[in-house]
Amino acid sequence: MDADKNFLVGVFDDEDAVISGVTAVRQSGVKIHEVYSPFPVHGLDEVLGYKRSRLPIAAFMFGITGTSIALVMQIWMLGYDWPMIIGGKNFASLPPFIPVTFELTVLLASLGMVATFLIASDLKPYKWPRQFDIRSTEDKHVMAIDLALNKSKNKDEISSILKAAGASEVNEKSFD
């Protein structure tokens, strides 16, 4: 991560500006580090070329785990470990096990997916983020460009590309 120290930061005023800005900047061959927005901008992930999130797959896998744990647990406990006659039914009869199975499926799917999301996005309580522009949570859309990854162009060239793409201001930001 040594490379990400010096950045050019383009500030865009609304989401239309940032979407057309991202398209223009990428067409001119500049690599974008990330775009920060105060709210989810629809279509921004597409113009940035991000692939669809695989979190639904994670949720499904955790859900299936929950289903299996619940069924195995109930059938083993009431069917094999300590069988008891309850209402004259089979020891391990499936219908009364469905509610707990459903609840554990939902519980593990939700918790597992959210944990995956937090880990994948590097969100944790003791982390202070590198803020490119403090207004990016308030009302500005902020495009960060890593200078080290765009060696083919100099700072002024990238700055003029950002301006031409619709940025209302272009600032420099470096982190130690």
Partner 1 sequence: MQVTSVVRDPLVTGGKTVKDVSHDISRQVEGKPTRLWWSAFAVAMAFLTFGLYCTLTLLWTGVGVWGLNKTVGWAWDITNFVWWVGIGHAGTLISAILLLFRQRWRMSINRAAEAMTIFAVICAATFPLMHMGRLWLGFYWTLPLPNTFGSLWPNFNSPLLWDVFAISTYFTVSLVFWYIGLIPDFAVIRDRAVIHGNNIRAMIYNALSFGWQGGAKTWMRYESVALILAGLSTPLVLSVHTIVSMDFATSVIPGWHTTIFPPYFVSGAIFSGFAMVLTLLLITRIVFKLEDYITIYHIELMNIIIIVTGSIVGIAYITELFISWYSGVEYEGYAFYNRIQGPYAWAYWSMMTCNVVSPQLFWIKKIRTSIAATFILSIVVNIGMWFERFVIIVTSLHRDYIPSSWTMFHPTMYDIGQFLFTVGFFFGAFLLFAKFFPVINMAEVKSIISIGSEKKTDETPH
Contact with partner 1 (CB under 8 A): which of 1, 2, 3, 82?
82
Residue-by-residue DSSP string for 76-137: IIIIIIS---STT--TT-SGGGHHHHHHHHHHHHHHHHHHHHHHHTT--TTPPP--S-GGGG
Nearer to partner 1, 58 or 147 (CB): 58
69 touches partner 1 (CB under 8 A)? no
Task: State the virtual CA torsion across 41, 46, 48, 53 in degrees, nearest 10.
Answer: 90
Binding status of residue 86 toward partner 1 by CB under 8 A:
yes
DSSP structural state of residue 29: T
Which residues in this chain contact partner 1 in the complex, by CB under 8 A? 14-17, 19, 34-42, 44-45, 48, 50, 53, 55-56, 59, 73-74, 77-78, 81-82, 84, 86-87, 89, 93, 96-97, 99-100, 102-104, 106-107, 109-111, 113-114, 117-118, 120-131, 134-139
